[in-house]
Structure formats: structure tokens, C-alpha cells
Amino acid sequence: MQFVDTNIFIRYLINDDPDKAGACRQLFELAKLNQVSLTTSESIIAEIVYVLSSKRLYNLARQDVRIRLYPLLSLPGLKLAHRSRYLRALNLYSNNNVDFEDALTLAAMESEQITELYSYDEDFDSVKECAVVRVEP
């Protein structure tokens, strides 16, 4: 199994360097066919979302980030311990006004059936599709 860093995903998704993007496309095609076994981490996925949505870099809309990244995270050859959480977080992020890190938190809470969150971050209050209640200590 090999680990995939942020820049490999970005080169493929943005295609700003055709040679590198082509090599990345080949790697992800092998993963699509389950001919390689790849993995990455939650921090890498969060960094990908940050880079793609950053106003200083690519400035992609939340829905565009989801549309581009969701299929990659679904590849059979990309082994992710918490794939369903990451996919749920992408959906929460694209449909709500929360940071991706907050969406990851909500997705983790849902999967663990945790319904109360101690936080002063009022953005959590706007997410109606989760059964999470924000409380302040």
C-alpha cells in the first residue's frame, strides 16, 4: 500500500501541470480498477478541501469541491478507514455553511451516535440535517 499526499490529488483535480496531472490520472485509474492499493489521511483530505476552496488559490465553490473530490474518495483502490465519514462530511460541507473540519466533526459524531457538542461555534446551529445539538459549558 502507498500513501497519497495532497499535491497528487490537487495536480489531478486542477490539471495545472499537464505532465504531472497525466501521471496522477494514471495512478487514480489504477485505483479505480483496484490494481493498486492507496491510502491517505483525514488531514490530507482536509488540506485538499482547504486548497481547492481557498480564495487565494483555486477558489472553488463548496459544491464544486464535492463534485471533484467525492469520486476520488470512492475509488476501490483507495483504502480509507473512515470513508463513509469523509463522504458524509463532503456532503455536509457542500450543503451548509460550516468549515470542512466542522463537517468532519459532525460526520464523526453521527457515526458514533453522539448528539451533544460542546462548542462556542454557532455555525453548528445552522446544520439542520444532523441531530447534533450544540451546548455551551
| Full 3-state SS string of 81-104 | CCHHHHHHHHHHHHHCCCCHHHHH
If you ran DSSP here, which 8-state letter would residue 125 be given?
A: G
Residues 71 and 26 in one domain: yes
Q: pTM value?
A: 0.93
* pLDDT tens figures, 8-32: 999 999 999 999 999 999 999 999 9
Residues 33 and 64 in one domain: yes
- The rounded mean pLDDT for the chain is 96
* Distances in whole angstroms, Cα of residue 51 to Cα of each of 11, 22, 34, 81, 113: 11, 20, 27, 23, 30
Residues 72 and 128 in one domain: no
131 — pLDDT class (breaks 50, 70, 90): confident
Chain CA centroid to CA 68, Å: 10
* pLDDT tens figures, 50-95: 999 999 999 999 999 999 999 999 999 999 999 999 999 999 999 9
Residues 12 and 67 in one domain: yes
